[in-house]
Amino acid sequence: MTEVILERIPEGTLLLTRSEISAMVDLKEYIDIVEDAFRKHAEGKSFGTGMLHADVKENVEFHIKAGGVSLSMQYFALKVNGSSFQNMEQFNLPNIMGAIILFDGDKVFPLAIMDSIEITKKRTGAATAVAAKYLARRDSETVTICGYGNQGKIQLMALNEVVSLKTAYVWGRDEVRGNSYVEEMAEELAIDVKYTSDLEEATGKSDIIVTCTPSRMPFLKNSFVRPGTFVAAVGADSPDKHELEADLLSRNRVVCDITEQCAKVGELHHAIVDGIMKVTDVEGELGEIIAGNVEGRTNEDEIIIYDSTGTAIQDAAAAALCYEKAVSLGVGTMINLMK
């Protein structure tokens, strides 16, 4: 990360827009900082991580995540993401919007207020890439992406940074959107990308499977997944979202981003509710594997599930990356909230 003069008093609070963030920071930088943040978490260098989910009414919800991590300095971030799934149709507004407030963890000064959607999208894909780096087979070359939205795109792009992909299948129930995804991603990544409506056939050929949908009914079965596969379960970030049948977790190794959080809102949550898993059945957390405290992949045949609910340490680290880079480049608008 860019060096920042830490002892000075901040001039004010920096405002950063989505386009400013997108232009400044590339995906590789997100992958590096997310890996570092998970390692720091395992080393006890994170603090105050927590989350809150609030349903306002049907199809309107908020996700609130807060936490800090020690990087070039102590950073604390509060993120609020709102989802209103009729926004685009009714008001011509994005269905998902949000903001991150980044604080100096020592002086408690609000360093920055920034768009959260660009950061959330990229840090989520980055976490899957980091998990694949440690948990996927080294010879992995075929992936199935379940979901063709923005997250489906960034998941494939992030995986392509750490795995030598040759073939990608995208699965969903809308062939038009699926074919649009194929055209865009094949051009972006120069790999063979194919749309499929047959999930079982595609996953049976895949070394990596990513689920990143808003589904509330599980669709990925244990019988669909061949030995040696790495599965990243990304979509379940609230208690009602559910993509994997619970026995896929109970019969295989499970690694969480934060186990306590996954037990409340992730795929692990559903396995616990079904009475077929306990928190103690989890192999460990991603940060523990990165730090070498828990063993990663032990053989070529094991199926490993990464339960990714998205963490405040990812948000804090990614926001800190954006803030430090903006300061170094002179990007953003400074305001004084204390006036």
278 labelled catalytic: no
- Does residue 107 form part of some domain? yes
Q: Give 191-215 pLDDT, tens digit per residue.
A: 999 999 999 999 999 999 999 999 9
Number of C-alpha atoms within 13 angstroms, CB side, residue 167? 11
28, 40, 57, 79: the catalytic one is 79
User: Nearest-5° angle of CA 145, CA 53, CA 316?
Assistant: 70
Q: What is the mean pLDDT of residues 12-23?
A: 97
- Does residue 185 form part of some domain? yes
If asked whether residues 32 and 74 sit together in one domain, one would say yes
Q: Give 109-168 pLDDT, tens digit per residue.
A: 999 999 999 999 999 999 999 999 999 999 999 999 999 999 999 999 999 999 999 999
- Does residue 5 form part of some domain? no
Q: Give 262-313 pLDDT, tens digit per residue.
A: 999 999 999 999 999 999 999 999 999 999 999 999 999 999 999 999 999 9
Q: What is the mean pLDDT of residues 326-333?
A: 96
If asked whether residues 153 and 91 sit together in one domain, one would say no
What is the residue range of 287's domain? Answer: 124-310
Count of domains observed in the chain: 2
Q: Give yes or no for residue 231 having a pLDDT over 50.
A: yes
Per-residue pLDDT band at 94 (split at 50, 70, 90)? confident
User: How many residues make up the chain in this entry?
Assistant: 339
Cβ neighbours of residue 159 closer than 8 Å, sequence gap 6 or more = 125, 128, 129, 132, 143, 165, 208, 210
Alpha-carbon distance 12 to 14, whole Å?
6
Q: State residue 9's pLDDT score.
A: 67
Q: Give yes or no for residue 175 having a pLDDT over 70.
A: yes
Alpha-carbon distance 162 to 254, whole Å?
21
If asked whether residues 218 and 302 sit together in one domain, one would say yes
pLDDT, mean over the chain: 95
Count of CB atoms within 10 A of residue 129's CB? Answer: 25
Largest separation between any pair of C-alpha atoms in the chain:
61
Q: Give 43-76 pLDDT, tens digit per residue.
A: 999 998 889 988 898 889 899 999 999 999 999 9
Q: State residue 5's pLDDT score.
A: 45
Q: State residue 1's pLDDT score.
A: 53
- Does residue 128 form part of some domain? yes
If asked whether residues 29 and 113 sit together in one domain, one would say yes
Q: Residue 67: left if φ>0, alpha if ψ -120 to 50, beta else—which one? A: left
Q: Give yes or no for residue 3 having a pLDDT over 60.
A: no
DSSP-assigned letter for residue 9: P
- Does residue 1 form part of some domain? no
- Does residue 324 form part of some domain? yes
Q: What is the CATH number of the domain that holds 161?
A: 3.40.50.720
This model's pTM is above 0.85: yes
**CA distances from residue 94 to 80, 91, 213, 235 in whole angstroms, order as listed:** 15, 9, 17, 19
**CA distances from residue 123 to 30, 242, 317, 318 in whole angstroms, order as listed:** 6, 21, 9, 7
b or e along 201-227 (b: 16 or more beta carbons within 10 Å of the residue's beta carbon)?
Answer: ebbeebbbbbbbbbbeebbbeeebbee
Of 5-19, 58-72, 90-104, 123-137, minimum mean pLDDT range? 5-19
Q: What is the CATH number of the domain that holds 95?
A: 3.30.1780.10
If asked whether residues 224 and 285 sit together in one domain, one would say yes
If asked whether residues 219 and 271 sit together in one domain, one would say yes
Q: What is the mean pLDDT of residues 178-189?
A: 97
Q: State residue 187's pLDDT score.
A: 96
DSSP-assigned letter for residue 110: E
Sign of CA dihedral 324, 310, 182, 164: positive
Alpha-carbon distance 143 to 159, whole Å?
9
Whether residue 65 contacts residue 120, with contact meaning beta carbons closer than 8 Å, is answered with no
Number of C-alpha atoms within 13 angstroms, CB side, residue 229? 27
- Report phi then psi at 216, rounded to 5: -110, 10
- Does residue 4 form part of some domain? no
Q: State residue 251's pLDDT score.
A: 97
- Does residue 7 form part of some domain? no
Q: State residue 334's pLDDT score.
A: 96
